[in-house]
Structure 1
Amino acid sequence: MHNPLFRRAIIILLAGLVLLGGALAGALWLRQSPDHRDGMMGEAAIGGPFELVDQNGEPFTDQDLEGHYSLVFFGYTYCPDFCPQTLLTVTEALDQLAEEEPEKADAVVPVFITVDPERDTVEAMNAYAQHFHESLVALTGSEEQIAETARAYRVFYRKVEEDSYNDYLMDHSTFVFLMGPDGKYVTHFTHGTAPEAIAAALDERVAG
């Protein structure tokens, strides 16, 4: 099976435009939700019930995360750069945390939810997940299930097609959400957050 992780450079300019669109969508999300930012008053309306399928073909719902912290990221396996880089950052952050606080690292479940269920089958997600943290849960589902889950997390995504290329990219929000054991939003990280900063935040917020 062709490994989408190494599909790079074919459409660099288009990929850059897509990432810019995701960044703009993220900025809009922040402007629309000032009371939901980390450290401010109010409870963020992020997260909620979902029913998806993991990379092993097993049903997976929000209830499977109860009692665990989770790092939730939406992306897709055909993403040229941003998605694999983010998942590698999450992997490195959890590895760093495990060196100092293994119990805290074990309490965090990294979760990758596709915004491209048309191509991201169970088999594709299984192959992709093997390149990242051993605990990564990679989720897919029907178009409707993905749309409902994205709405619950207030995640923006859309298909970007070009006549000059016989494939497509996905423009999408770029946050990594830290969710608590009760399924409620704790904080979020951006694409530019370093692994060390994520590890430090997890060390501070996660109860081992």
Structure 2
Amino acid sequence: MPPILAPFRKRPWRSAAAAVLLAAALPALSACHGGGAVDPPLAGTALGGDFTLVDKTGKTVRYADFAGKWRVLYFGYTFCPDICPLDVQHLMQGYHLFARAHPAQAARVVPMFISIDPARDTPQVVGQFASAFGPELVGLTGTPQQVAVAAKAFAVYYQKHAGSTPDAYLMDHSRASYLMDPDGKPVALLPVDQDGKAVAAELEKWVR
């Protein structure tokens, strides 16, 4: 069973995110009673959709640009004190383990880090953060409106909490890493809350 989506401070889910939570928590169903192929746990959920953001160079990037690739999306922010860096570390450790065992399949996987803190996460800042975890990780940011569109498409909750100074604030946000198939359809949540081996095992289960 995939990890349960949960906001960092355990704040109530909005309706869209709650629907994803319920769908993700359901056990995978067998395609037939005899124990055939297993359906992806997120199959049929209303997750995903096109968005327009920018990469580390400021170049416009759309979700549709990665059509034909397996896509992994993690929403977070670079100023996150602990959870985001650890989750992304597990994500990329898992990706690299998978790549060593299955290089051809891994070549078709695009891991992405999408900032929900565009005020501080400029293209350069997001690029530096992503590069620390490997050249394969695509760092994306955008205007507040662009980020809101991307977050809504993936039922991502986020909210700013004021700090001691205007720049010293934290972002409360949902914690999940989405695996999407080459058609852009939702497949599973990657267990970034566990470790790299768990992430690699989940990639191996679905990526073909």
TM over 0.5: yes
2:110 counterpart residue number: 109
Conserved 8 A contact 1:114-1:120: yes
AA partner of residue 39 (structure 1): A
What are the ranges of 5 or more consecutive residues in structure 1 without an aligned counterpart? 1-17
Q: 2:17 and 2:192 mapped to 1: Cα distance?
A: 15
Q: 1:198 and 1:91 mapped to 2: Cα distance?
A: 9
Q: Count the aligned residue pairs.
A: 188
Q: 1:46 and 2:47 equivalent? A: yes
Conserved 8 A contact 2:176-2:189: yes
User: Normalising by the residue count of structure 1, what TM-score does the alignment of the two structures yield?
Assistant: 0.82
Q: What is the Cα deviation at residue 19 of structure 1? A: 2.7
2:143 counterpart residue number: 142
1:19 counterpart residue number: 8
Q: What is the Cα deviation at residue 64 of structure 1? A: 1.3
AA partner of residue 102 (structure 1): P
What is the RMSD computed on CA atoms of the aligned residues? 2.4
Identity of aligned residues (%): 34
Higher mean Cα deviation, 28-37 or 127-136? 28-37
Matches of residues 23-42 of structure 1 in structure 2 within 5 Å? 25=13, 29=17, 33-37=21-25, 39=28
Runs of 4+ in 1 over 6 A off after TM superposition: none
AA partner of residue 72 (structure 2): L
1:128 counterpart residue number: 129
Q: 2:63 and 2:153 mapped to 1: Cα distance?
A: 11
Conserved 8 A contact 1:25-1:172: no
Q: What is the Cα deviation at residue 66 of structure 1? A: 0.5
Q: 1:33 and 1:120 mapped to 2: Cα distance?
A: 27
Q: 1:140 and 1:166 mapped to 2: Cα distance?
A: 18
Secondary structure of 1:173's match? strand
